[in-house]
C-alpha cells in the first residue's frame, strides 16, 4: 500500500501543475525534494549588480535592477527576497514583509532562501509592532 | 456750428475736423483700423508661437526588450524587433548605432546610446548566438555577458492635441543637413528676408508658368509656419495677406534659429488615420522608425520632399512621385553645393526605406495611452505632461498589443457572421507576476480614439464571479472534494421578494463536488455554496482581491450581478494567478525628467490578500475548466497549461473569458454596447479570441509550488471519493492534508454525461 501511494505520488508529480520543468514562474520541486536548481545566469548577474549598486549607496538604482530581474525571472525567489531586504533597509516594513512572503511562496521547502525569507518576514512584522509567526 | 473752440471736448473737435477734411479723416480711420488689425494679428501669432515654443510634451516608450541567454526568442523574431526599432541591416560588422548584421544563427547589433530610467546605456556592440531554444549566449567587447537591453520603441507623445501628434525635437537633435536642405529647397533667402520674399514669389511664378505646373512655392518658411498654425486650405488673397503680415511680425519678435526650429517641429508631414503627423521628429519615426538624428541623406531628402505635399507625395501610396520629388530635392542640394554629387546620385538610387508598419501593428496606441495618462494624472498635472519634456517608460509590449488587436478584429469579424449588428469587444493582457499591463484593446478598430471598453465599459461579469465565491468557501474550510447540492432553490430577499436562480441548461445535477460545480459553472450549487459562506464574505473578498468599487451584497452577486471593466477583471484574476498576492496593474513603470533624473517610480508591490493553499486549490479547478469544463473548447499549444473561467451574463448579454498562464493574464469581453443579447456564451464568444491571444503571446505554462498544508490525492471528479489510478474520471488534486474524502466509488459511468456533452456541443457550435 505504501508502494502504491508512492507510485501515486510519483504519477501525480507528472500530471498535476507542480514540479514542471524549470521555466519562468515555474515550480519548486514537490515536497521533500533535492535543493532548488541553480539560479539563471541573468538573475545572478542582476542580483550581483544590484548588490554593487547598494554598496555604492544607490538604492533607487539597485531597486530598479532587481525589478528588471523580477520581470525577466519572476519565479526566482532570491530576487524577490533581495527586493524585500532592500525595502527593509528603506524602512518600508509593509512591503518588506509582503515581498518576503512572496519569496517564501516560491522557495523550495528547506532551502536557504526560504528560511532567509522567514527571517525577513519576522523582522518586518516586529517593526510593524506585530508579533512573529505570521 | 462747424467751428470748434479750444475748450470743446476732444470728440467734438475731432468730429469737426473730420467734417472739414473728409478724405484725410478717412485715411486716418483706415490707418487706425489697419494698425488695430496688425496688433490683433500680432497677438494671434505670438500667442500661438509662445504657446508652442516651450512645449515639450512627454515622450512615451514601450517596454525595452531584454536579451539574455536562455530567452526563448528566434533570430527572426529578434530581427523583426530590430527593424521595428529602425535598426538597419548591414553587411559586415555593424559600426553605426542603429545597425545590425545577421548570419544564420548569429546576430551582431550596434545598439543606440539610450538613457533608461535607471542608467545611461552607452552604444555598444552585442553579439547574440542562437540555438534551437533561443538565445544561447551574448557577448560584447569585454566578453561573455548575461543580459542586455535594446532601446525601447517610442510610441508617441502623451497628448495628441486635436488629433495632431508631434515629437518635439531640440535643435541638437536636428541634423544640420536638414536645416540646410530646407532652406535650399523651400526658402533660399531665409536668413536674409523679413518674413516674405518678393523675389521668391516672382521666381516661383515664372518657374511654374514655364513648367506648366506648380513646382515651386513662393512662400517663405516663416509663411509656411504661420499657415501651419492656422491650417486653412482657403488660400484666398486675403488669407495670403494675413499670412504675410503675421510672418513679418514673427520675424520682428523672434530670431531665425527659433523660427526654423519651430518650423521643424510644426510642419504637417502626413496623415495616419485619425492622427495628423506634425514635425520632423515624429515624421522620422513614422516613416522610418528612426530618431531624426540618425537619418541619412536619402531619408532627409525624402522628408524635405514631403513638406510640399505629404498626401500628394506620400511614399506609401505614391512611391514614384515621392522618388521623383526626392530626386529633385537632391538635385537642388547638389546645385547649392551642400552635398557632393556622388552622394546625391547614390541617394537618388536608394530605396525609399519606409519601414513596414504591417509587421509591427499600428504604431499608435491611443487605448493604451489612455491608461498611461490616467495613471500619470494621479501624480502629475496636465502641464507637467505637456511642457516639461518628461520621458515615460511604460510596460506596453508591441508584440502582445499587435496580437490582441489582430485577434479581436478577426475574432469579432468571424463571430459577426450574418448578424445585422456588429459586435464589440475588448481585451486586456498583463504580465502575471509583475502587474505590468502589456496590451489594451478598447475597440475592434486598432487606433480608435473613442470609447475604450477595456478601461471604461462596466459590464455584468456573470459567472466570472464564481471563483471568488469558491475561494471564499475554500478559505472558510471547504475543500474541492466536498459535496454540494445542485438542486432548485428559491432565495428570500430582504425586501420581501424572492429570487429563483436557474442553471444555464435548466437541468440540475443533484449531488456534485465543489470541483465539478465550479468547473461546469453550475449556478444552483454555486448559490447554495455562496449563501452558506455568506454573501458579505464574498463581497469583502472581492474587495481584497482588488476590486475597489462598492459592491451590493445581494444574493445575485453570487451569480455575478456586479459590473466591472475588463481591466478590473484582469486585476482579480492576476491575484489568483499570483497565488493570492495582489499586485497593482500598472501601465507606467518609471518617469524621468528631461535631464534624465528619475522622478516618480511605480515600484513593483505585492500584498498577500488570500491564503496560498486556498488559491492553489482554486487554480486547480480553473485548470480543469479548460481541460474538461466550460472552457474545454479552447485550443492551446501542447504543454501550455492554462487556467481560467468562462463568464456568461444574464440572457447572453456579455461573453467573457478571463484566465492565465505562468506568464500572462488575459481577459476578453464580447458584447453589444446597447446591451442587447448576443446569443454568445463565454465559451462560444470570448474564449475563441482568448485562446488565440494566449497561444500567440504566452510561453510559460501555469504552475505553482505546492503550498504547505496540502497533499496530493487522486479523487473522482464527480463524487470526490479517493480512487485508484485506473478510474476514468480521476483527477489529481492537492487537498488539505488529512482531508476526509467522501465515500464512494469511481464514477466511470456516463451519469448525465450524454446530455451535458450535447449542451457543450450546443455551446461550441453556437
Q: In this predicted model, what pLDDT tens digit does every residue of B279-306 receive, in sequence order?
A: 999 899 889 888 899 999 999 999 999 9
pLDDT at B725: 76
Do the domain assignments include residue A18?
no
C-alpha cell at B368: 493604451
Do the domain assignments include residue A31?
no
pLDDT at A24: 38
Q: In this predicted model, what pLDDT tens digit does every residue of B305-331 receive, in sequence order?
A: 999 999 999 998 899 999 999 999 999
Ranges of beta strands (E only) in B636-752 are 643-648, 654-660, 664-671, 710-716, 730-736
Read off the pLDDT band of B162 (50, 70, 90): low
Express as a percent the part of chain B with pLDDT over 90.
62
Read off the pLDDT band of B596 (50, 70, 90): confident
Residues of B labelled as active-site residues: 186, 463
Q: In this predicted model, what pLDDT tens digit does every residue of A81-118 receive, in sequence order?
A: 999 999 999 999 999 999 999 999 999 888 999 999 99
- Put simply, the answer to whether A60 touches B663 (Cβ < 8 Å) is no
Identify which of A41, A61, A42 has the alpha carbon closest to the alpha carbon of residue A51. Answer: A61
- Put simply, the answer to whether A8 touches B69 (Cβ < 8 Å) is no
Which chain A residues are Cβ-neighbours of B662 within 8 angstroms? 23-26, 75
Q: In this predicted model, what pLDDT tens digit does every residue of B233-260 receive, in sequence order?
A: 667 778 888 888 899 999 999 999 999 9
Task: Write out the residue range of the structural domain in which residue A113 sits.
Answer: 40-134
Q: Say yes or no to pLDDT of B536 above 70.
A: yes
Decide: helix, strand or coil at residue B427. strand
The answer to whether the CB of B293 falls within 8 A of the CB of B173 is: yes
Task: Please state at what angle helix B566-577 crosses helix B466-475, rounded to 10 degrees.
Answer: 30
Q: Say yes or no to pLDDT of A18 above 50.
A: no
CATH at A70: 1.25.40.10
pLDDT at B407: 97
Instruction: Write phi, then psi, for B9 (nearest 5 degrees).
Output: -65, 160
> What sign has the CA pseudo-torsion B724, B725, B730, B733?
positive
Which chain A residues are Cβ-neighbours of B741 within 8 angstroms? none
**B200 Cβ contact partners less than 8 Å away, ≥ 6 residues apart:** B187, B188, B189, B193, B218, B219, B220
Any idea what the Cα angle at residue B444 is, between residues B441 and B445, rounded to 5°? 95
pLDDT at A30: 41
The answer to whether the CB of B121 falls within 8 A of the CB of B114 is: yes
**B132 Cβ contact partners less than 8 Å away, ≥ 6 residues apart:** none
How many Å from the N-terminal Cα to the C-terminal Cα in chain B? 97
Q: Say yes or no to pLDDT of A132 above 60.
A: yes
8-state DSSP, B665: E
Do the domain assignments include residue A27?
no
* Domains contained in chain A, number: 1
A16, A74, A105 member nearest B712 (Cβ): A16
The answer to whether the CB of B292 falls within 8 A of the CB of B281 is: yes
Interface of A with B in 94-133 (CB under 8 A): 95, 98-99, 101-102, 105-109
B92-96, B275-279, B293-297, B710-714: which has the minimum mean pLDDT? Answer: B275-279
Do the domain assignments include residue A82?
yes
Quote the radius of gyration of chain A (alpha carbons, Å). Answer: 17
Q: Say yes or no to pLDDT of B562 above 90.
A: yes
Query: Which run of H or E residues covers position B319?
Result: helix B319-335
A16, A68, A109 member nearest B66 (Cβ): A68
Tell me how far apart the alpha carbons of residues B317 and B763 are, in angstroms, rounded to a whole number.
45
C-alpha cell at B512: 456534485
pLDDT at B62: 95
Do the domain assignments include residue A122?
yes
Do the domain assignments include residue A58?
yes
C-alpha cell at B363: 504604431
The distance of B327 to chain A (nearest Cα, Å) reads 47
Do the domain assignments include residue A118?
yes
Is residue B738 classed exposed, middle or buried when 0-12, 13-18 and 19+ CB atoms within 10 A define those classes?
exposed
pLDDT at B686: 97
Read off the pLDDT band of B11 (50, 70, 90): confident
Do the domain assignments include residue A4?
no
pLDDT at B759: 63
Tell me how far apart the alpha carbons of residues B657 and B694 are, in angstroms, rounded to a whole number.
12
Tell me how far apart the alpha carbons of residues B245 and B249 are, in angstroms, rounded to a whole number.
6
**B664 Cβ contact partners less than 8 Å away, ≥ 6 residues apart:** B400, B429, B430, B431, B432, B438, B694, B697, B698
Q: In this predicted model, what pLDDT tens digit does every residue of B403-419 receive, in sequence order?
A: 999 999 999 999 999 99
Q: Say yes or no to pLDDT of B542 above 90.
A: yes
**Residues of chain A by 3-state class (helix, strand, coil), percent to 5:** 65, 0, 35
Q: In this predicted model, what pLDDT tens digit does every residue of B418-455 receive, in sequence order?
A: 999 999 999 999 999 999 999 999 999 987 888 999 99
Amino acid at each position: 500500500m505504501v508502494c502504491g501511494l508512492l507510485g501515486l505520488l510519483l504519477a501525480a508529480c507528472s500530471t498535476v501543475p507542480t514540479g514542471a520543468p524549470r521555466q519562468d514562474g515555474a515550480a519548486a520541486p514537490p515536497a521533500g525534494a533535492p535543493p532548488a536548481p541553480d539560479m539563471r545566469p541573468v538573475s545572478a548577474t542582476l542580483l550581483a549588480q544590484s548588490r554593487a549598486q547598494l554598496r555604492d549607496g544607490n538604492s533607487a538604482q539597485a531597486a530598479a535592477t532587481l525589478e528588471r530581474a523580477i520581470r525577466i525571472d519572476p519565479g526566482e525567489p532570491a530576487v524577490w527576497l533581495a527586493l524585500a531586504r532592500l525595502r527593509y533597509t528603506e524602512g518600508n516594513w509593509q512591503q518588506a514583509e509582503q515581498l518576503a512572503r512572496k519569496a517564501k511562496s516560491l522557495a523550495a521547502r528547506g532551502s536557504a532562501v526560504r528560511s532567509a525569507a522567514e527571517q525577513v518576514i519576522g523582522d518586518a512584522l516586529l517593526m510593524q509592532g506585530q508579533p512573529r509567526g505570521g | 456750428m462747424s467751428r470748434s473752440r479750444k475748450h470743446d471736448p476732444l470728440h467734438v473737435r475731432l468730429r469737426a475736423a473730420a467734417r472739414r477734411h473728409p478724405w484725410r479723416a478717412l485715411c486716418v480711420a483706415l490707418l487706425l483700423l489697419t494698425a488695430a488689425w496688425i496688433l490683433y494679428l500680432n497677438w494671434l501669432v505670438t500667442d500661438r508661437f509662445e504657446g508652442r515654443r516651450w512645449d515639450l510634451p512627454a515622450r512615451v516608450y514601450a517596454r525595452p526588450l531584454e536579451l539574455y541567454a536562455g530567452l526563448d526568442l528566434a533570430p527572426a523574431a529578434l530581427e523583426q524587433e530590430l527593424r521595428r526599432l529602425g535598426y538597419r541591416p548591414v553587411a559586415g560588422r555593424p559600426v553605426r548605432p542603429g545597425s545590425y548584421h545577421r548570419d544564420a544563427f548569429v546576430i551582431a547589433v550596434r545598439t543606440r546610446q539610450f538613457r533608461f530610467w535607471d542608467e545611461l546605456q552607452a552604444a555598444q556592440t552585442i553579439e547574440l548566438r542562437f540555438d534551437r531554444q533561443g538565445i544561447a549566449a551574448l557577448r560584447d567587447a569585454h566578453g561573455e555577458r548575461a543580459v542586455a537591453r535594446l532601446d525601447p520603441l517610442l510610441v508617441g507623445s502623451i497628448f495628441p492635441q486635436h488629433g495632431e501628434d508631434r515629437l518635439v525635437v531640440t535643435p541638437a537633435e536636428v541634423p544640420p543637413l536638414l536645416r540646410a536642405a530646407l532652406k535650399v529647397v523651400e526658402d533660399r533667402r531665409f536668413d536674409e528676408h523679413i518674413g516674405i520674399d518678393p523675389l521668391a514669389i516672382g521666381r516661383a511664378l515664372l518657374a511654374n508658368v514655364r513648367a506648366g505646373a506648380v513646382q515651386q512655392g513662393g512662400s517663405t518658411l516663416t509663411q509656411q509656419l504661420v499657415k501651419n498654425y492656422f491650417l486653412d486650405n482657403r488660400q484666398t488673397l486675403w488669407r495670403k495677406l494675413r499670412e504675410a503680415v503675421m510672418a513679418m511680425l514673427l520675424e520682428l519678435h523672434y530670431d531665425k534659429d527659433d523660427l526654423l526650429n519651430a518650423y521643424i517641429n510644426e510642419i504637417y508631414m502626413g496623415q495616419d488615420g485619425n492622427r495628423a503627423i506634425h514635425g520632423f521628429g515624429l515624421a522620422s519615426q513614422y516613416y522610418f522608425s528612426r530618431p531624426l538624428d540618425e537619418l541619412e541623406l536619402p531619408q532627409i531628402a525624402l522628408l524635405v520632399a514631403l513638406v510640399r505635399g505629404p498626401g500628394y507625395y506620400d511614399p506609401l501610396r505614391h512611391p514614384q512621385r515621392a522618388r521623383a520629388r526626392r530626386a529633385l530635392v537632391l538635385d537642388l542640394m547638389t546645385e547649392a553645393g551642400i552635398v557632393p554629387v556622388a552622394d546625391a546620385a547614390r541617394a537618388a538610387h536608394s530605396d525609399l526605406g519606409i519601414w513596414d508598419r504591417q509587421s509591427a501593428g499600428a504604431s499608435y496606441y491611443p487605448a493604451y495611452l489612455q491608461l498611461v495618462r490616467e495613471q500619470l494624472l494621479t501624480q502629475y498635472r496636465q502641464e507637467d505632461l505637456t511642457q516639461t519634456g518628461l520621458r515615460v517608460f511604460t510596460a506596453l509590449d508591441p508584440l502582445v498589443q499587435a496580437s490582441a488587436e489582430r485577434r479581436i478584429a478577426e475574432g469579432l469579424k468571424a463571430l459577426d457572421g450574418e448578424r445585422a449588428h456588429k459586435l464589440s469587444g475588448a481585451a486586456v493582457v498583463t504580465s502575471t507576476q509583475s502587474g505590468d499591463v502589456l496590451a489594451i484593446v478598447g475597440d475592434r478598430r486598432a487606433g480608435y480614439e473613442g470609447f475604450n471598453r477595456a478601461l471604461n465599459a462596466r459590464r455584468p461579469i456573470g459567472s466570472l464571479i464564481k471563483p471568488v465565491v469558491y475561494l471564499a468557501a475554500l478559505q472558510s474550510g471547504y475543500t474541492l472534494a466536498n459535496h454540494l447540492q445542485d438542486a432548485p432553490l428559491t432565495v428570500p430577499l430582504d425586501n420581501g421578494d424572492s429570487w429563483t436562480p436557474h442553471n444555464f441548461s435548466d437541468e440540475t445535477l443533484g449531488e456534485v463536488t465543489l470541483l465539478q460545480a465550479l468547473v461546469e459553472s453550475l449556478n444552483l450549487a454555486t448559490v447554495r455554496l455562496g449563501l452558506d459562506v455568506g454573501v458579505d464574505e464574498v463581497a469583502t473578498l472581492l474587495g481584497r482581491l482588488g476590486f475597489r468599487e462598492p459592491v451590493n451584497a445581494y444574493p445575485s452577486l453570487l451569480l455575478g450581478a456586479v459590473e466591472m471593466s475588463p481591466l478590473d477583471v484582469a486585476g482579480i484574476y492576476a491575484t489568483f494567478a499570483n497565488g493570492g498576492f495582489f499586485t497593482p496593474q500598472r501601465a507606467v513603470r518609471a518617469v524621468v525628467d528631461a535631464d534624465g533624473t528619475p522622478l516618480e517610480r511605480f515600484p513593483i508591490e505585492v500584498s498577500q490578500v488570500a491564503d496560498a493553499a486556498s488559491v492553489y486549490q482554486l487554480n486547480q479547478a480553473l485548470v480543469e475548466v479548460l481541460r474538461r469544463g466550460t472552457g474545454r473548447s479552447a485550443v492551446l499549444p501542447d504543454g501550455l497549461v492554462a487556467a481560467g473561467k468562462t463568464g456568461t451574463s444574464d440572457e447572453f448579454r456579455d461573453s467573457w473569458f478571463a484566465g492565465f498562464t505562468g506568464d500572462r493574464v488575459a481577459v476578453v469581453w464580447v458584447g453589444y454596447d446597447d446591451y442587447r443579447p448576443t446569443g454568445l456564451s463565454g465559451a462560444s464568444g470570448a474564449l475563441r479570441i482568448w485562446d488565440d491571444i494566449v497561444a500567440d503571446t504566452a510561453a510559460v505554462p501555469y504552475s505553482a509550488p505546492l503550498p504547505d498544508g496540502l497533499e496530493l490525492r487522486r479523487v473522482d471528479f464527480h463524487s470526490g471519493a479517493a480512487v485508484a489510478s485506473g478510474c476514468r474520471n480521476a483527477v489529481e488534486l492537492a487537498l488539505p492534508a488529512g482531508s476526509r474524502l467522501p465515500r464512494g466509488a469511481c464514477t466511470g459511468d456516463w451519469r448525465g454525461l450524454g446530455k451535458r456533452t450535447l449542451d457543450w456541443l450546443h455551446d461550441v457550435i453556437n
